[in-house]
């Protein structure tokens, strides 16, 4: 009986102690929640105060002279020499041709060159001459948006870096209209809500896409999903959660744009899915120098001593030049010896920084390992006349980027008479390498084997069959001309210019 009484007393004491601990836990949690809420209120107040002070400071910043509408393009790599840069210069040229009281500016991080050198490269590389002067605003903190500094959570850190870079840009000049032409969406709230600018953008490629989410979810190894992550379910789950969070933030900043222009059907689909602004989003195909390439004198295949496969594109990781080398190595294995003797791969492209130059060295090592080094020609930072000469004397065009947003170089190659073999995804699949008037305009592939087989088919075709594809391809590219871009760009942007400009 005493044992039962002792057990009941002990149980009662344990229950009382547990109740006290639970009560204490509830009080601690309540206190914690109250502290967090108070901190959030204080943080919100500080943010409002900072925003108010920044707005006051904006009135002390440099603005353009009265009587003009000042339009600034945010393009930190304006001297890179890629397709995005051609869009920049053609967009500025379009505005200068139409509006007399518009002054254009470019925010750039290319501090190692002068304004004159930048414009000279635009003339040499793209054959674009601006009718009016443009002012460059040089930024010192561009390094903050470079991926090499952020081995982990790269997208988030680059986006934070772009906010700081936007702060530097705004502190040096406050425009009336701000146009981001590189895809730095996290800069939009800075210029809209602090700078009080009208915000427009031309998006070449969504910073994050549903394709990227699917890649991580399916644990597919890629240049942006390294093996140690794709092979581990825990890391993949964490990265997928991070991507979803980033996609939500990307959608929020995207809503800060008054005008959204995209370069292809593929980009349009992803941006409207993420930002949900289908009415304000316009497809404006990028300007391709189709007339210049189409005017190249035609050289019959029978007169070409070499069967050149031409690749044009910056040496960036997503361009997947390693796939080109592997496909070419496989091609050499399956070609007849007589054709193999005269075939070569020509890689033409520019490098943005030391990381890109190192990537070229790694590719050269890969070519040597594959045993094809003697058949690969490297043309870094080729001039526009050199590029034209290679296109004119080439037979096949090669492009391997997965989910390429558009592909200006693909259009240029088709206009120049090359028969394209591009990746079966993105812009090439949806907009460019598609049937035109029921006729083939090129080939699409996905891996070394399919690329090699497609190129082999082209090289072994008759001159008549190849010319039939060339004619169809050349006829199809007029919708991507400079003239069509200018018309579409001015039409889409009229909504933000019409009330501010007296043409």
Domain count, the chain: 2
- On whether both 245 and 329 belong to a single domain, the answer is no
| Cα 401 from Cα 405, distance rounded (Å) | 9
pLDDT at 1: 57
User: Does the pLDDT of residue 400 top 70, yes or no?
Assistant: yes
Using left for φ > 0, alpha for ψ between -120 and 50, and beta otherwise, residue 153 falls in left
- On whether both 324 and 465 belong to a single domain, the answer is yes
Three-class SS state of 111: coil
Q: Which two tokens stand for residue 194?
A: 């602090």
pLDDT at 232: 67
| Cα 92 from Cα 380, distance rounded (Å) | 27
What confidence category does residue 427 fall into, taking pLDDT thresholds of 50, 70 and 90?
very high
- On whether both 212 and 167 belong to a single domain, the answer is yes
- On whether both 358 and 447 belong to a single domain, the answer is yes
pLDDT in tens, 303-345: 999 999 999 998 989 899 999 999 999 999 999 989 999 999 9
Percent of the chain with pLDDT over 70: 83
Distances (CA, A) of 154 to 109, 134, 140, 365: 20, 33, 20, 27
| Mean of pLDDT values over 144-160 | 91
What confidence category does residue 282 fall into, taking pLDDT thresholds of 50, 70 and 90?
very high
User: Does the pLDDT of residue 10 top 70, yes or no?
Assistant: no
pTM of the model: 0.76
- On whether both 104 and 245 belong to a single domain, the answer is yes
pLDDT at 502: 41
pLDDT, averaged across the chain = 87
pLDDT at 242: 86
| Cα 357 from Cα 316, distance rounded (Å) | 10
Residue 329 falls within a domain, yes or no? Answer: yes
Question: Which of 269, 211, 313 has its CA nearest to residue 430?
Answer: 269
Q: Which CATH number characterizes residue 350's domain?
A: 3.40.50.2000
- On whether both 269 and 320 belong to a single domain, the answer is no
pLDDT at 503: 38
pLDDT in tens, 458-485: 999 999 999 999 999 999 999 999 999 9
pLDDT in tens, 77-101: 999 888 899 999 999 999 999 998 9
CB atoms within 10 A of CB 143: 14
Cα dihedral 151, 157, 159, 163, rounded to 10, equals: -140
Which strands make up the sheet holding 376-380, listed edge to edge? 376-380, 343-349, 307-312, 396-398, 419-423, 442-445
Are 263 and 410 spatial neighbours (Cβ–Cβ below 8 Å)?
no
- On whether both 192 and 295 belong to a single domain, the answer is no
- On whether both 277 and 180 belong to a single domain, the answer is yes
* Domain ranges, residue 416: 290-480
- On whether both 283 and 346 belong to a single domain, the answer is no
């Amino acid at each position: 009986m005493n044992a039962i009484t002792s057990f009941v007393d002990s149980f009662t004491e344990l229950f009382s102690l547990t109740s006290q601990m639970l009560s204490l836990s509830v009080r601690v949690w309540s206190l914690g929640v109250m502290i967090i809420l108070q901190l959030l209120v204080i943080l919100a107040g500080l943010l409002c105060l900072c925003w108010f002070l920044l707005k006051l400071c904006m009135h002390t910043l440099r603005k353009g002279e009265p009587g003009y509408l000042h339009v600034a393009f945010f393009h930190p790599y304006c001297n890179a020499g890629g397709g995005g840069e051609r869009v920049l210069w053609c967009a500025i040229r379009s505005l200068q041709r139409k509006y007399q009281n518009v002054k254009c500016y470019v925010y750039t991080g290319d501090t190692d060159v002068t304004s004159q050198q930048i414009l000279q490269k635009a003339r040499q590389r793209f054959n674009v001459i601006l009718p009016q002067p443009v002012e460059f605003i040089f930024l010192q903190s561009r390094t903050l948006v470079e991926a090499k500094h952020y081995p982990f959570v790269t997208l988030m850190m680059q986006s934070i870096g772009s906010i700081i870079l936007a702060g530097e840009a705004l502190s040096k000049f406050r425009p009336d209209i701000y146009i981001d032409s590189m895809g730095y969406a996290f800069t939009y709230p800075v210029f809209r809500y602090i700078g009080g600018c009208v915000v427009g953008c031309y998006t070449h490629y969504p910073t994050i896409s549903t394709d990227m989410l699917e890649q991580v979810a399916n644990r597919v190894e890629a240049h942006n999903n390294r093996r140690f992550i794709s092979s581990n379910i825990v890391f993949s789950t964490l990265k997928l959660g991070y991507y979803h969070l980033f996609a939500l933030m990307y959608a929020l900043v995207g809503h800060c744009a008054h005008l959204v222009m995209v370069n292809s059907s593929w980009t349009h689909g992803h941006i409207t899915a993420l930002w949900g602004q289908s009415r304000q989003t316009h497809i404006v195909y990028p300007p391709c120098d189709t007339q210049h390439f189409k005017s190249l004198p035609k050289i019959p295949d029978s007169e070409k001593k070499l069967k050149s496969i031409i690749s044009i594109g910056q040496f960036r990781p997503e361009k997947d030049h390693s796939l080109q080398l592997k496909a070419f190595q496989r091609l050499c294995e399956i070609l007849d010896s007589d054709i193999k003797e005269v075939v070569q791969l020509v890689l033409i492209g520019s490098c943005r920084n030391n990381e890109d130059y190192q990537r070229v060295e790694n590719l050269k090592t890969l070519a040597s390992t594959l045993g094809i080094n003697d058949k690969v020609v490297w043309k870094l930072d080729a001039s526009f006349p050199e590029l034209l000469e290679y296109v004119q004397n080439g037979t096949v065009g090669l492009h391997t980027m997965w989910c390429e947003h558009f592909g200006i170089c693909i259009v240029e190659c088709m206009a120049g008479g090359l028969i394209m073999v591009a990746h079966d995804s993105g812009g090439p699949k949806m907009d460019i390498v598609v049937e035109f008037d029921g006729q083939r305009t090129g080939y699409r592939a996905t891996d070394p084997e399919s690329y090699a087989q497609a190129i082999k088919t082209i090289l072994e075709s008759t001159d008549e069959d190849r010319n039939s594809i060339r004619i169809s391809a050349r006829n199809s590219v007029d919708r991507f001309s400079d003239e069509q871009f200018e018309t579409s760009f001015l039409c889409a942007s009229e909504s933000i210019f019409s009330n501010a400009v007296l043409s």
